Amino acid sequence: MADDLKKKDGRDRAKVNKSEAWEVNQVAKKHGVTPAVVKKALEKVGPVRTRVEQEIKKSK
C-alpha cells in the first residue's frame, strides 16, 4: 500500500521504506549519495532513519 502524502503526521518519519522510490531519493539527495548507496545501507542496518544516516556517513 502506498503512503498517503496528504497525511502530515510524524508516524512515518523515523523509518525509510526502500520500496518507496521517493523516500530513498529524498535520503540520497540529503546526503549527496546515490539511491543505490541508501538501499545498501537499508539492507545492512534496517529501516530506522537514524541508523541509515549513520551508515551512509560511515561509508563516505
Domain count along the chain: 1
The reported pLDDT for the residue numbered 3 is: 67
The reported pLDDT for the residue numbered 31 is: 96
Question: For the chain, which residues score pLDDT lower than 70?
Answer: 1-3, 8-11
Question: Is position 11 within any domain?
Answer: no
Question: Is position 16 within any domain?
Answer: no
For 48, the 3-state DSSP assignment is: strand
What span, in angstroms and rounded, lies between the C-alpha atoms of 34 and 10? Answer: 25
For residue range 6-20, list pLDDT tens digits in order. Answer: 776 666 788 999 999
Domain of 25 in residue numbering reads as 21-59
For residue 42, give the amino acid letter: L
The reported pLDDT for the residue numbered 22 is: 93
Question: Is position 27 within any domain?
Answer: yes
The reported pLDDT for the residue numbered 57 is: 94
